[in-house]
Amino acid sequence: MEALGLPPLNSLNISCSNFQVQNVSKSPKKTYYFSSLELSSLKPRPFCYSSSELSSLKLRPSSGGTHLLHWTAVRMQVDGEDYELKQVKDMAAARKRWETLVREEKVKVLTPREAGYAIQLSNKTLLDVRPSTEHKKAWVKGSRWIPIFDVDTKIDVGTLSTKITSFMMGGWWSGMPTLSYNDQFLPKVQENYPKDTDLIVACQKGLRSLAACELLYNAGYRNLFWVQGGLEAAEEEDLVIEGPQPLKFAGIGGVSEFLGFTDQQRDAASREGWSYRLVFSARLVGIFLVADALFLGAQQVGHYLQDLRSH
């Protein structure tokens, strides 16, 4: 918080019974280090980072030997195993670069609570880089929304192939649409903010915001702050939220949301009790009843067609 010109949180009398500050350990030279738990948060995990989210990052070395982000949709030119292996390798390379940015303090780390503190007391800018599907559900009051990736609306052979692959690899469960790089992201940021502006960059889980920080740093921005864990890690008292849904629910969707099988919904159910769980239990029972009715209906149609043939 000293980097923002604000007093440390410890000096304030703030009630935070449900909040635990995630400290980033420092060396005597004040160099940031990730713990093993923090590093694991950058690894792709099932239904945390969808295939479409990961495949939208295509990372290659440039001709000068410097790693640059090439934001293009990944074409399915290899089989599924090679495709997943490439994603893992690309993410590992990106994670090393992002870790270096944070360790060398080129990008400062803030917890969601520290970000809220900076926004309210010093009018710092929160740059929300989430796609429209997440932003429309909930957003931080006063934030500026410029997505680094957004829903891919193109319809061509390559895009359809990517969308089908994304859906089959978990999109049906997580509800995550196919995303593509927003080529207006950097021009819009440069149009609205000088390069000496303090920018607090945030996304839902903390992955895309790191990619945005790298892109902005390479473009000359030097006062960058990354919200560790993303907006999903924020508690209700950390940020002033607007929108129709809780901020923690902005990143869920698909069948998992409908049935209440996401971690966020389980946490809510543990707090709100059986009345909350009953809604999703009723939905699950309804699915079984509909499936049973369809099965019985198919049997009846089969018998009817068989009778027609016999006559």
Residues 171, 302 share a domain: no
CA 149-154-158 angle, 5° bins: 100
Residues 150, 78 share a domain: yes
Q: What is the pLDDT of residues 46-93, one digit of tens each?
A: 334 444 444 445 443 333 333 434 433 344 444 455 767 887 888 888
> For residue 46, what pLDDT is reported?
35
Residues 81, 207 share a domain: yes
DSSP state of 171: I
Residues 291, 219 share a domain: no
- Cα gap 105→49, rounded to integer Å: 25
Residues with Cβ within 8 Å of 157's Cβ and at least 6 positions away in sequence, in order, are none
Residues 215, 277 share a domain: no
Burial annotation 251-273 (CB, 10 A radius, 16+ → b, else e)? bbbbebbeebbbebbeebbeeee
Please state the φ and ψ torsions of residue 84, each to the nearest 5 degrees.
Answer: -65, -40
Torsion of CA 93, 94, 95, 96, to 10 degrees: 60
Instruction: Answer yes or no: is 255 within a domain.
Output: no
Q: What is the pLDDT of residues 220-247, one digit of tens each?
A: 999 999 999 999 999 989 999 999 999 9
pTM over 0.95: no
Q: How many C-beta atoms surround the C-beta of residue 283 within 10 A?
A: 12
Q: How many C-beta atoms surround the C-beta of residue 205 within 10 A?
A: 21
Instruction: Answer yes or no: is 266 within a domain.
Output: no
pLDDT at 113 over 50: yes
Residues 73, 25 share a domain: yes
Instruction: Answer yes or no: is 213 within a domain.
Output: yes
pLDDT at 161 over 60: yes
Q: Pick the catalytic residue: 16, 48, 203, 213?
A: 203
The number of helix segments (H) and strand segments (E) in the chain equals 12, 11
Q: Which residue has the higher pLDDT, 184 or 71?
A: 184
Instruction: Answer yes or no: is 168 within a domain.
Output: yes
Residues 134, 63 share a domain: yes
Please state the φ and ψ torsions of residue 159, each to the nearest 5 degrees.
Answer: -65, -40
Instruction: Answer yes or no: is 261 within a domain.
Output: no
Residue 48 a catalytic site member: no
First to last CA, the chain: 84
Residues 108, 14 share a domain: yes
Q: What is the pLDDT of residues 197-212, one digit of tens each?
A: 999 999 999 999 999 9
CA 3-18-223 angle, 5° bins: 15
Q: How confident is the model at residue 104 (pLDDT cuts 50, 70, 90)?
A: very high
> For residue 45, what pLDDT is reported?
35
Instruction: Answer yes or no: is 263 within a domain.
Output: no
CATH number for the domain harbouring residue 111: 3.40.250.10
Domain boundary pick from 196, 219, 242: 242
Residues 229, 304 share a domain: no
Q: How many C-beta atoms surround the C-beta of residue 165 within 10 A?
A: 19
Residues 171, 68 share a domain: yes
Beta bridge partners of 149: 181
- Cα gap 260→269, rounded to integer Å: 9
> For residue 100, what pLDDT is reported?
93
Q: Is the dihedral of CA 56, 59, 60, 61 positive or negative?
A: positive
Q: 36 with 95: CB under 8 angstroms?
A: no
Domain boundary pick from 221, 242, 263: 242
Q: How confident is the model at residue 307 (pLDDT cuts 50, 70, 90)?
A: confident
Q: 137 with 249: CB under 8 angstroms?
A: yes
Instruction: Answer yes or no: is 86 within a domain.
Output: yes
Residue 294: which domain range? 273-310
Q: What is the pLDDT of residues 115-154, one digit of tens each?
A: 999 998 887 899 999 999 999 999 999 999 999 999 888 8
Q: 252 with 266: CB under 8 angstroms?
A: no
CA distances from 150 to 50, 69, 72, 181, 285 (A): 14, 16, 12, 7, 35
Q: What is the mean pLDDT of the chain?
A: 76
Residues 206, 299 share a domain: no
Domain total in the chain: 2
Please state the φ and ψ torsions of residue 258, each to the nearest 5 degrees.
Answer: -60, -40
Domain boundary pick from 222, 242, 262: 242
Residues 131, 85 share a domain: yes
Closest CA to 148 of 99, 207, 193, 82: 207
CA 261-264-270 angle, 5° bins: 85
> For residue 152, what pLDDT is reported?
83
Q: How many C-beta atoms surround the C-beta of residue 34 within 10 A?
A: 19
Instruction: Answer yes or no: is 297 within a domain.
Output: yes
